[in-house]
Amino acid sequence: MAKGRESKPHIGIFGRRNNGKSSLINALAQQDIAIVSDVPGTTTDPVRKSMEIPGIGPAVLVDTAGIDDIGDLGSKRVTRSLSALKTVDMALLVITGNVFGLPEEKLIAAFGKQEVPFMVIHNKSDLEALDDALANKLSEAHNVPVLPFCALNPDNLETLVAAIRKTMPETAYKSTSLLGDLLSYGDLVLLITPIDSEAPEGRLILPQVQAIRDIIDNDCIAVVVKEKEVDALLRVLSPRPKLVVTDSQVFLRADASVPKDIALTSFSIMLARHKGDFANYLRGTPKIAGLKDGDRVLLLESCTHHVACDDIGRVKIPRWMSAYSGKNLEYDVVAGLGELPRPITDYALVVQCGGCMITRKQIINRLRPAVEAGVPVTNYGMAIAWMHGIYHRAVAPFRRLESTTGDYL
Digit-coded pLDDT (tens) for 174-183: 667 899 999 9
pLDDT band (50, 70, 90) for residue 313: confident
Cα 269 versus chain centre, distance: 15
How far apart are the C-alpha atoms of 354 and 302, rounded to whole Å?
8
pTM given for the model:
0.67
Using the predicted structure, report yes or no on whether residue 119 has a pLDDT greater than 90.
Answer: yes
Task: State how far the Cα of 183 lies from the Cα of 409, in Å rounded to an integer.
Answer: 21
CATH class name, domain 10-172:
alpha beta
Task: Name the least confident of 77-81, 145-149, 296-300.
Answer: 77-81
Confidence of residue 198 (pLDDT cuts 50, 70, 90): low
- The identity of residue 189, as a single letter, is V
Mean pLDDT of 286-310: 82
Flag whether pLDDT at 248 surpasses 50. yes
CB 269 within 8 A of CB 382: yes
Distance (Å, rounded) from C-alpha 87 to C-alpha 334?
16
Average pLDDT in the 356-364 region? 82
Contact assessment for residue 181 and residue 401, using Cβ atoms and an 8 Å cutoff:
yes
Give the class (CATH, top level) of 180-271: alpha beta
Query: Can you give the pLDDT at residue 39?
Result: 47
Report yes or no: 84 and 3 within 8 Å, Cβ to Cβ.
yes
pLDDT band at 7 (very low <50, low <70, confident <90, very high): low
Domains 180-271 and 277-387 are alike in CATH topology: yes
pLDDT at residue 64 greater than cutoff 50: yes
What is the structure's pLDDT at 402? 55
Q: Which CATH architecture has domain 277-387?
A: 3-Layer(aba) Sandwich (3.40)
* Residue extents of the structural domains in the chain: 10-172, 180-271, 277-387
- How do beta strands 330-335 and 146-148 pair? unpaired
* pLDDT band at residue 4 under the 50/70/90 scheme: very low
Mean pLDDT of the region 291-300: 97
Question: Number of C-alpha atoms within 13 angstroms, CB side, residue 90?
Answer: 22
CA contacts within 13 A on the Cβ side of 399 = 17
For the four alpha carbons of 395, 397, 400 and 404, in that order, the dihedral sign comes to negative
**Separation of alpha carbons 161 and 316, rounded Å:** 46
pLDDT at 44: 47
Mean pLDDT rounded to a whole number for the chain: 86
pLDDT at 401 over 70: no
Q: In the prediction, which pLDDT does 174 show?
A: 64
